[in-house]
Amino acid sequence: MHNPAHPGEVLREFLPPGMSVTETAQRLGVSRVMLSRVLNGRSAMSADMAIRIGLLTRTSPESWLANQMQWDLWQSSRKPKPKVQPLQRTA
């Protein structure tokens, strides 16, 4: 597994050059602050945001959420494993 890009970083590649965060947020119907946090990797991609971005970019919301999941798993895999007591299987 490699270090995947945060969905906000991927979204930046979809936006036309010169399109401001403000204009993009208005098109999405979200606050500028919320979009800025996603674009800068400080907030996760929610299902609602994935739907909006999918509509904006004509891509699937599932692809945005899959990207978020891959990024989250990568980040978590870099931390010490939690101590968990597994369930015992019953016959």
**CATH no. for residue 72?**
1.10.260.40
C-alpha 54/C-alpha 14 separation (Å) is: 11
Mean pLDDT in residue range 68-73:
97
Mean pLDDT in residue range 30-44:
98
H/E stretch holding 11 reads helix 7-14
- The answer to whether position 86 is within a domain reads no
- The answer to whether position 82 is within a domain reads no
Asked if pLDDT for residue 91 goes beyond 80, the answer is: no
- The domain containing residue 54 runs over which residues? 7-76
Total count of domains within the chain = 1
C-alpha 2/C-alpha 73 separation (Å) is: 11
- The answer to whether position 87 is within a domain reads no
- The answer to whether position 85 is within a domain reads no
